[in-house]
Amino acid sequence: MAEYLPARTIEAMVKGVYWAPRDTFVSEPLEVLNLTYDGIPGDRHAGLYRNSGPREPWYPRGTPMRNERQLSILSAEENAEVAAALAIDELRPEWIGGNILLSGVPQLSQLPPRTLLMFPSGATVRIDGDNGPCKKSGAAIAANVPGRPDLEFGFVKAAKHRRGLLGWVEREGEVRPGDVVRLRIWEQSLYTA
């Protein structure tokens, strides 16, 4: 019989909020992140739906599907670990398209799908899963760290299981730096069959 971990709620702090208002995924800081059911209005990843791409080889490319990639949630602690592994001074959330930077959640990228991030305004983000690192993010880092072209591919290895999470808006509201967010982790077991 499977062993289950009980449901629980933990807290974290919002350290920063960001959006990507242009064609690039590189984001920029905001004072307030307004979340709607479409995600972040005007953001590159906004929308209830998106077209499938190379991450979904089971669909023909361009197939409309639910947008579970509205938001990129990052950990200040994991970003520091990745920066240390890459031997760079810092890994800014903007460089890798972060939308919400949290502090105080050990191993944020390991949180299971369905975890809820509940903000004081009532805004709620549902986690879809971890965000796999890619060389596109590595190239953005390399563009900000002169003389380190190795970062394009080095990031993929250094950020494995530390790249953060993807999620979508379950309930609308605002998110601000300094907010205390409650993370509701559902009862879970390790699927081994």
pLDDT above 80 (res 1)? no
* Single pTM value for the model: 0.95
pLDDT above 90 (res 191)? no
**Cβ burial, residue 79 (10 Å; 0-12/13-18/19+):** buried
Rounded Cα distance between 96 and 100, Å, is: 12
Which candidate, 96, 113, 72, 116, places its Cα nearest to that of 159? 96
Higher pLDDT, 169 or 191: 169
The tens digit of pLDDT for each residue in 133-144 reads 999 999 999 999
Please tell me the least confidently modeled range out of 17-26, 38-47, 82-91. Answer: 17-26
Distance of CA 62 to the CA centre of its chain: 23
pLDDT above 80 (res 59)? yes
